[in-house]
Amino acid sequence: MKKLRVLSGMQPSGRMHLGNLIGALQNWIKLQEENECFFFVADWHAISTNYENTKDIKENIIQMLIDWLACGLDPVKSTLFIQSKVEEHAILHLLLSMITPVSWLERNPTYKEQITQIKNKDLSTYGFLGYPVLQSADILIYKANAVPVGIDQLPHLELTREIARRFNFLYNAKLVEPAPLLTDIPKLPGTDGRKMSKSYNNAIYLSDPVDVFENKVKNLITDPARVRRTDKGNPDVCTAFVFHKIYSSADDVSQIDKDCRAATIGCTDCKKRLLERMKMAIKPIWEKREALLSDTKKVFDIAEQGSIKAKRIASDVLKEVKEAMRI
Ligand code: TRP
Ligand code: SF4
């Protein structure tokens, strides 16, 4: 018996970087072993913040699917699909929007933060305000009970639960209130030590050519107080060390910790060792990426099959919803 019905989505906002891989994908890959998993590309959500430029969405969808598959999401174990291929999400979104108070959406902290922080885009649309209602539909249409997300998504999950409760109360229905699954995997910093992000220009991409990748690792910021080779270092403030903790063995990590503090290892050597480890871990992903890039038909087929499978469940739940509403 599979333990939980797990569902999550990701916006196709371009190439994936190691931060996405370590933060979300690694967790999904683990979850698919023991649970019934649905993972989808949230292409409609991507339009909400980017409606003026939709021409790259198709390409971004395929790139994201390639990255997912290359990293180890397995279409045999998980249902992998594209949101817009399962139009039931949109119908449920419409129905849920009828019962969702605008005040719930306006007080959503993620919404308020984005409205004040993102100045270069027009976010004053109906679709953007309703973003979490679409997200609720994504989740509720599968009666998913667990949703792996980052902390930034918790308000959306809470809203999903509130909407489900309200719907069940109004129509005596049985939508499932989903619980968030938070990862214990540490956040990966970017090359400059800040959070790894496309917009900070500090990301290491799975699609980086080998020489670019090598240079980024070699230039990872280290303990800034360690100026000379003979200066004793502090791994706790070193970005390269965070990478070691993810890519090197526990023994290596504690050895490096000691050597760094005693200045018996230099940063250049330390990062060379890191690079070897990272290449070992990432080489199979690169190889699989290459293979998939030259067989995009296979990738589309996987998404097509996944979407058909997802649609079967989604249309059953939608039927139930309509019956509950007597429409
Ligand atoms: N909003 C999510 C994000 O930006 C993506 C998403 C859309 C999602 N629908 C979802 C995540 C449903 C979990 C469940 O990361
Ligand atoms: Fe960081 Fe390694 Fe340099 Fe220590 S030796 S500061 S852990 S790169």
Report how far Cα 226 is from the mean position of its chain's Cα atoms: 34
pTM (whole model) above 0.75: yes
Distance CA 24, CA 187 (A): 10
Mutate to test the pocket of ligand 2, among 217, 219, 226, 255 (most ligand atoms within 8 A of CB): 226
pLDDT of residue 118: 83
- Residue whose CA lies nearest to ligand 1 atom number 8: 9
Ligand 2 nearest atom to the CA of residue 271, by list position: 8
153 lines ligand 1 (CB under 6 A): yes
135 lines ligand 1 (CB under 6 A): yes
pLDDT for the residue numbered 249? 95
Ligand 2 pocket: which residues have CB below 6 Å? 222-223, 226, 233, 235, 238, 240-241, 256, 260, 265, 267, 270-271
Nearest atom of ligand 1 to the alpha carbon of 148:
13
Cβ neighbours around 315 below 10 Å, total: 15
Q: Cα of 183 to ligand 2 centre, how many Å? A: 26
CA distance 244 to 239: 9
Of the bound ligands, which one is closest to the alpha carbon of residue 160?
1
Per-residue pLDDT, 119: 84
Domain spans in the chain, listed from the N-terminal domain onward: 5-189+296-325, 210-290
What pLDDT does 150 receive?
Answer: 86
Among the bound ligands, name the one nearest to the CA of residue 260.
2
Q: Measuring CA to CA, which residue among 252, 247, 250 is closest to residue 285?
A: 247
Fold of 210-290: Tyrosyl-Transfer RNA Synthetase (1.10.240)
What end-to-end distance do the CA atoms of the chain give, in Å?
Answer: 35
pLDDT value, residue 151: 85
pLDDT at 27 (0 to 100): 93
Nearest to 141 by CA among 86, 75, 189: 86
| Nearest atom within ligand 1 for CA of residue 45 | 7
C-alpha distances (whole Å) from 53 to each of 37, 49, 65, 90, 121 are: 31, 9, 20, 21, 11
- Is residue 205 within 8 A of residue 17, CB to CB? The reply is yes
Ligand with the closest atom to the CA of 242 = 2
State whether residue 49 is helix, strand or coil.
Answer: coil
In whole angstroms, what is the distance from residue 136 CA to residue 157 CA?
8
Q: 210 alpha carbon to ligand 1 midpoint, in Å?
A: 31
The topology under which CATH files domain 5-189+296-325 is: Rossmann fold (3.40.50)
Is the CB of 48 within 6 Å of ligand 1?
no
How remote is the C-alpha of 75 from its chain's centroid? 17
Handedness of CA 264, 267, 272, 273 (dihedral sign): positive
Print pLDDT tens along the chain (327 aa). 679 999 999 999 878 899 988 888 999 999 999 999 999 999 999 999 899 999 999 999 999 999 999 999 999 999 999 999 999 999 999 999 999 999 999 999 989 988 888 888 889 999 999 999 999 999 999 999 999 998 889 999 999 999 999 999 999 999 999 999 998 777 789 999 998 988 889 999 999 999 999 999 999 999 999 999 999 999 999 999 999 999 999 999 999 999 999 999 999 999 999 999 999 999 999 999 999 999 999 999 999 999 999 999 999 999 999 999 999
What is the distance between the alpha carbons of residues 252 and 257, in angstroms, rounded to a whole number?
Answer: 8
Which atom of ligand 2 sits closest to the CA of residue 244? 7
pLDDT number for residue 23: 84
- Whole-number CA gyration radius for the chain: 22
Residues 241, 234, 183, 190, Cα dihedral to 10°: -50
Instruction: Pick the ligand that lies closest to the CA of residue 39.
Output: 1
Cβ within 8 Å of residue 54, ≥6 positions away: 47
**Closest ligand 1 atom, residue 150 Cα:** 15
Any atom of ligand 1 within 6 Å of the Cβ of 161: no
State the ligand closest to the CA atom of 262: 2
Distance 252 CA to ligand 1 centre (A): 36
Candidates 200, 218, 221, 222; CA nearest to 210 is 218
**Contacts (Cβ under 8 Å, ≥6 apart) of 302:** 65, 69, 75, 80
